[in-house]
Amino acid sequence: MNYHIKKFVCLFALGLIAIGGCSSNIPDGFPTKLVKFSVTIQHDGKPIEGVAVWLYSDDADAKYHVNATTNADGIALMKTSINSYSKTGSPSGTFKGTLMHRPKVPSDLTKEEWQKLNEEESEKQVKKISAEVAKMKLVPAICENLATSPLKITVPENGGNVAIEITDPKTFTQ
């Protein structure tokens, strides 16, 4: 090998080593292995869209969180995150879970009409919308708070899906 080719090969190899060593932006505490995992939420056999699903590790020192929101099919494909770093998947293990459903209620008023309301009219509209949301809210309130939620979700080592069936605003099965 001539001198220039040897020099090029050495510089190229050093460059690859430098790039490989500096490109890792995985935060400390991020799980080393994630598996594809989803949670399906249904009410009387029909999917519920817009349910935020959160999984909390039993490890008090865990720096990551696992969450997703259900799509139109009622499926939340879980993601693991630390700050702005996020990857699809979840570490395996057993987690405490919470669910929060904030259904979208279309307003009868445009933004401009809302701005023209006086305080009394605005309060009346808010009460009307709150009553509609309460009728549409399908997730039991007990599941919204980590301290009260009875949900325990196990993520198997090979991933998978857990289905949660809500039968009324106070009852669910998993």
Is 115 found in the same domain as 54? no
Quick one: pLDDT at residue 169? Answer: 58
The CATH number that applies at residue 68 is 2.60.40.10
Quick one: pLDDT at residue 88? Answer: 96
Q: How far apart are CA 51 and CA 34, in angstroms?
A: 22
Supply the Cα-derived Rg of the chain in whole angstroms.
Answer: 24
CB atoms within 10 A of CB 89: 19
Residue 74: closest CA among 153, 139, 120: 139
Strand duo 160-168 + 75-77: pairing: unpaired
Quick one: pLDDT at residue 129? Answer: 78
More confident residue, 104 or 167: 167
Is 92 found in the same domain as 77? yes
Considering the domain boundaries, does residue 2 fall inside one? no
Q: How far apart are CA 45 and CA 22, in angstroms?
A: 49
Residue type, 55: L
Report how far Cα 89 is from the mean position of its chain's Cα atoms: 10
Is 87 found in the same domain as 155? yes
Residue 114: closest CA among 125, 100, 104: 125
H or E stretch covering 53: strand 51-57
Q: Considering its fold, how many domains does the chain have in total?
A: 2
**pLDDT > 70? residue 6:** no
Domain residue limits at 28: 24-102+138-174
Contact 169, 142 (CB under 8 A): no
Q: What is the mean pLDDT of the chain?
A: 82
24-37, pLDDT tens digit by residue?
688 888 999 999 99
Is 113 found in the same domain as 167? no
100-156, pLDDT tens digit by residue?
987 776 677 788 888 888 989 888 888 887 777 766 677 888 888 899 999 999 999
User: Band of the pLDDT at 160, cuts 50, 70, 90?
Assistant: very high
- Whole-structure pTM value: 0.71
